[in-house]
Structure 1
Amino acid sequence: MKIASGLVSAEFVSRPNRFVAQVLINGQPETVHVKNTGRCREILQPGTRVWLGEPAAAGGSRKTRYSLIAAEKPGRGVINIDSLLPNRLMKDWLAASGEFDVVKPEAMCGGSRFDFYLEKDGRPVWMEVKGCTLEVDGQGFFPDAPTIRGTRHVRELTALRRQGIRTIVAFVIPVNGVTHVLANADHDPAFAASLQEAREAGVEIWHMACDVKPEEVSIIGRSVEQSAQAMVCGKDSQDTD
């Protein structure tokens, strides 16, 4: 998937809050929007090379001209941190795969909204997509900060599965060379417990590996967990809380 053309390279300086960052563009300071409200502390370090996209409708109510969408991590290459990208990638992958007869984004089930409603041979399938940018020693971890919403979604998928409905949690990993995600129990034990409960109930866990460049990201592989064996890891994510 083509992300953008004409991205601007910059140097990361600081992140005053989760919505904005300070960068240097050709040595000149600029405040930019950060398209990820997660911590991203192991990625956004002072001096890190980052890439900025300019909104098509710059100005208006926007207070910043650029959005920070990707960063370079030593030994890992480019990491895309745009939190909206995983769903876009998954939509394209589902459409291209032909695996499902119906692919409907942002669908309601009772009082909950899931990322995708799918159908296969007339049977419903519900999917939630989680983007993973936290990498430690080649292993992906999710989340990088507590996620009440993510835990709720996983528990709702588990409840549906116990009713006999097929459900999927898909981790999209826009980090080169990372093919699998473990629950980050140190940062969010509730999410880790919910994911393990989902696994044991038969919710499918997909891991979507990606090829990542500053201007283009694509899903290049999928692995599906086949057993209920525990995959929860308590490895510290190197944050400094």
Structure 2
Amino acid sequence: MQFSPAFQSATLIQRYKRFLTDITLDDGTEVTIHCPNTGSMRNCLFPQSKIWFSVSDNPKRKYSRTWELAQTPDGHMIGINTGRANALAEEAINAKIITELCGYSSLRREVKYGSENSRIDILLEDQQRGRCYVEVKSCTLLEQGQGYFPDAVTTRGQKHLRELIEMVQQGHRAVLLFVVQHTGIDSVQAAAHIDPAYAALLNEAFLAGVEIIAYSASLSATSVNLVKSCPVKL
């Protein structure tokens, strides 16, 4: 995923009301920008740290700037815009970066499925291979050298795991894909200390036949791409 023009840099002041972030532009001006991350952003908020934002030319937007990247005190990059995770996954599948998901003839996004009225992030289909349901989750939480998901209790994430289990029971392939948008994360595991119910359900899904994989992203002001497989600890 290439960005032209490149993201612009600024300094973080604070994030508040979930969707708003105050920053200081490089010329010293303080402005409010949109935060495209509804999660807790645990261990992703570092006041006075460097951040990067994109600019929209849509005149209907109240806030034309969108927070895209953050930098940790250790210099690691974090992808703040979780809305890009599905597009990153799609690009990587089409480019055959995610080898586990190669060999399908069609790809569709946001397809309704399951008994709990969900929408699968990516549905892969092939006449010979059948269907593969891919649920995408963005992973940005790093604690004591370990990457975790989720960063807050997620009943929605629990529902998605139940739906994936159901697809396996119906004879389909189901995959949970963690898109790792933090350059300091070397492996991913369930955050049982944050959401024990999700961790238990993830283990249940694995035992039921749901495939659980992770891929790490390279992150810069000009491009964000999934580049390599990342171990998942189960």
TM-score (norm 2): 0.89
Equivalenced residue count is 225
Matched letter for residue 47 of structure 1? Q
Describe the shift of the 1:224–1:21 C-alpha distance in structure 2 as closer, same or farther (beyond 3 A). closer
Matched letter for residue 106 of structure 1? E
Match of 1:35 in 2: 36
Describe the shift of the 1:224–1:74 C-alpha distance in structure 2 as closer, same or farther (beyond 3 A). closer
Give 1:224 deviation, angstroms. 6.9
Match of 1:19 in 2: 19
Give 1:145 deviation, angstroms. 1.4
Residues of 1 paired with 2:65 and 2:231: CA distance?
A: 37
Residues of 2 paired with 1:56 and 1:89: CA distance?
A: 22
Residues of 1 paired with 2:209 and 2:38: CA distance?
A: 30
1:66 equivalent in alignment to 2:50: no
Structure 1 unaligned spans of 5+: 232-241
* Per-residue CA distance 1:131-173 (angstroms, 9 max, x = gap): 0011123321111112111110111101221222210000000
CA contact (8 A) 2:11 2:49 kept: yes
Match of 1:104 in 2: 108
1:150 equivalent in alignment to 2:154: no
Describe the shift of the 1:87–1:3 C-alpha distance in structure 2 as closer, same or farther (beyond 3 A). farther
CA contact (8 A) 1:78 1:214 kept: no
Give 1:76 deviation, angstroms. 4.5
Give 1:192 deviation, angstroms. 1.1
Match of 2:121 among 103, 115, 121: 115
Describe the shift of the 1:23–1:183 C-alpha distance in structure 2 as closer, same or farther (beyond 3 A). same
Residues of 2 paired with 1:41 and 1:122: CA distance?
A: 39
Matched letter for residue 21 of structure 1? T
1:188 equivalent in alignment to 2:189: no
* Per-residue CA distance 1:164-214 (angstroms, 9 max, x = gap): 221000000011252421111122122111111101111000111121112
Residues of 2 paired with 1:8 and 1:76: CA distance?
A: 17
Match of 2:5 in 1: 5
Match of 1:215 in 2: 222
Mapping 1:48-87, distance limit 5 Å: 48-57=49-58, 59-60=59-60, 62-87=61-86
Match of 2:99 in 1: none
Give 1:220 deviation, angstroms. 1.1
Match of 1:90 in 2: 89
Residues of 2 paired with 1:5 and 1:99: CA distance?
A: 34
4+ residue segments displaced more than 3 Å = none
Describe the shift of the 1:212–1:137 C-alpha distance in structure 2 as closer, same or farther (beyond 3 A). farther
TM-score (norm 1): 0.87
Residues of 2 paired with 1:4 and 1:69: CA distance?
A: 14
Residues of 2 paired with 1:218 and 1:138: CA distance?
A: 22
Residues of 1 paired with 2:125 and 2:186: CA distance?
A: 26
Residues of 2 paired with 1:158 and 1:4: CA distance?
A: 40
Residue range with higher mean Cα deviation, 34-43 or 149-158: 34-43
CA contact (8 A) 1:69 1:81 kept: yes
